[in-house]
Structure 1
């Protein structure tokens, strides 16, 4: 047994039956590919913490004196920008035999975009800096779009069913360690009030992490030709493949299981859209101290650390159930938090107020970790080959549009009060 086989077997509960169904060239590389996927995904998730649109970028905008109006577009651009173009890009992706190269290009695009943000944080200020960072964030989202399309294919081609959820969970756990370290570093170095220069170094670290992601991904041995017995050849002909919008609508209309997945996934937005509102609510009610930037990043890291180990194996057993339970629990947490906040005389000041918001942020992020691991595992297991690519791209494009609508409505409600936005997100679950 090779060293990679030993390490992989110690980390992942193997599925011998599923492995035997994979082609011989895939079976030989399951362990080294699995370890590379864990490392690459962990580095990527760690990089995400350095350019988090819910925490780091709003703090940076405040430090640079960017008008508050621009802060409201950060999360929609980050999330929708990485989803909406995917259906349109699918015909191009299907022409590429080795999908890992699409991921590598996307990683380098993200590295370049974050480098621009870092330079702007160090040298810019005011509205101009805000506009440049928002534009760079849009480019960053496009790079993530490429990675999102390709990553599910690469994992489906190289890792058998029954092990994919554990791969996602291990990567999430590793990223949690990094997030905790990052949060502690922020609190030690900058306390509650980081300067723009300090945040510029944080962003520069993120750019370096995405370069490392690309370097790790280059080593993945993706099979030539069919990755599974049902894997079709990439199609290069004109016609149906290129009519991406018609094909997307046909897929949603005629494929009932896929349509059900998209519908259910659209109802899981509570865990992804509510954390920024929790942060804003904590600020409005006077919370400080623990509820600073470092505190929220630490809470996010601990949630990833715990959730990655718990939810990975659960996703391999029943990813559908994991998504449902995670979303329902997130809604209950939001409702309970709102119920406490609206009590007469409540204030975020003091230790109890701080702990409430950190606990709420941690709990929702933990549930989001479960939903995310379950969703990724479910969509990879739904189909094989190019059909998997279409499922990922069309579902993400549809969710990008839904995210814009739901995000816009929740933002409008937030103008009245943050509480109404949170309740709006929680009730559909």
Structure 2
């Protein structure tokens, strides 16, 4: 069987049942390359998503720094650097990226830099320890986060140019499901106890680096039609122009508010897990089986739900945001109630609720991504993406407020507040347009 026929079969399998809905909202030249482009997107995106799971800063890098003897303060900087660093630069990088007729090269470079950064992390872990290892890995994570911001801005723009509207959610959903299956195996290996702990973590980081570099090479094979380069220029000027979009487009404002409220789905897991008082990072080494269980819960939720969420998002990303908001509200509300009643530690209640929340979390990710791509046009897609991500990055920096609430009022109070946030997000999502409907 030839390579081309395999590509064609993959495309036909994904596109089954949608024969009449091809070539929507993409350049005419891109229609002839749909099988190749769809397959390239899936392979490249799945590779980077596996890599993301293998270096998860909330779990894997936290354990690594703790084991290397870095201070709790340095360990605590991992998630803020990773999340804010990936989002905040985007308002400024969007203008520069607009100067590229083919933005696949920006994504490929960003993926390459992420791979090289992780190679540096492996070397730091092998030859450094303590504070020096912690600072080195944090700096490299910062570089990785900035490179990721370039990929984030350019990817949605490239996806919008190279894949038909009726296929985008399925492409990202299938990539997430493939990646989740791989990360599930990683979680099983972590939880099994059959392997030396440091060895498997370093091997995972090495594999992540390889996957990012492979994805970089793969993505260059996309058939991307050169696009408009208007809008590039001085970063501050571009930033000012992008901010005016908040005045011009009320739907964009509503979408950003919904997305901001739904950051609760990303921030809640640590507060859920620490309801039993196991928040001491120094204990990570002794609970590696627990670390594997957390990786498994997240990956299994993604594996079981991502393709379904993606398929639903192609029908109505608005309904996906609405549904995932209410699912998250129920999971967080139930956790807060059971925590208040001191029943959360019984049986499998907490793992089950965490699993449900992660299903909602993946729905939020796929729903917001598909909604943003489909609500925008080819001319403003990069600007919409950058503006939305930068605002969310700033809001994420205020997430330390939840730690203050937990300190004074307890984790139950934090989870209750987050449940209300998800409820408000669901209510506001009802006012979003059905952007998948053809005008």
Aligned to 2:58: 54
For 1:268-287, what aligned pairs fall within 5 Å after superposition?
A: 268-282=262-276, 284=278
Are the structure 2 counterparts of residues 238 and 209 from structure 1 closer, same or farther at C-alpha, using a change threshold of 3 Å?
Answer: closer
1:20 is displaced (CA, Å) by 6.3
Match of 1:235 in 2: 230
TM-score (ref. length: structure 1)? 0.90
**Other-structure match for 1:342:** 340
Q: Does 1:382 align with 2:353?
A: no
Structure-to-structure mapping, 1:348-427, within 5 angstroms: 348=345, 352-353=346-347, 355-405=348-398, 407-416=399-408, 417-427=410-420
Give the equivalent residue in structure 1 for 2:208.
Answer: 206
Distance 1:20 1:130, change over 3 A: closer
The runs of at least 4 consecutive aligned structure 1 residues that moved more than 4 Å come to: 236-239, 285-291
| Local SS of the residue matching 1:385 | coil
Report the counterpart of residue 31 of structure 2 in structure 1: 27
- Decide whether aligned partners of structure 1 residues 29 and 242 sit closer, same or farther in structure 2, where only a CA change above 3 A counts: farther
Distance in 2 of aligned mates of 1:120 and 1:42: 26
1:116 counterpart = 2:120:
yes
Structure 1 position 81 matched with structure 2 position 73: no
CA distance in 1, matches of 2:24, 2:49: 31
Q: Distance in 2 between matches of 1:388 and 1:402?
A: 21
Structure 1 residue 237 displacement after superposition: 7.0
Describe the shift of the 1:279–1:60 C-alpha distance in structure 2 as closer, same or farther (beyond 3 A): farther
Once residues 310 and 125 of structure 1 are traced to their aligned partners in structure 2, the CA distance between those partners, rounded to angstroms, is 43
Aligned mate of 2:306, from 288, 308, 315? 308
C-alpha RMSD of the superposition: 2.4
Q: CA deviation at 1:10?
A: 0.9
Moved more, 265-274 or 70-79: 70-79
Cα distance change of structure 1 residues 178 and 324 upon mapping to structure 2, 3 Å threshold: same
CA distance, structure 2, for counterparts of residue 50 and residue 124 of structure 1? 21
- From 59, 64, 69, give the equivalent of 2:73: 69
Q: Provide the rounded CA distance (Å) in 1 between the counterparts of 2:414 and 2:127.
A: 35
CA contact (8 A) 2:96 2:233 kept: no
TM-score (norm 2): 0.88
**Structure 1 residues 278 and 116, CA gap change in structure 2 (3 angstroms):** farther
Preserved CA contact (<8 Å) 2:24 2:166:
no
**Aligned residue in 1 for 2:426:** none
**How many residues of Structure 1 are paired with residues of Structure 2 in the alignment?**
413
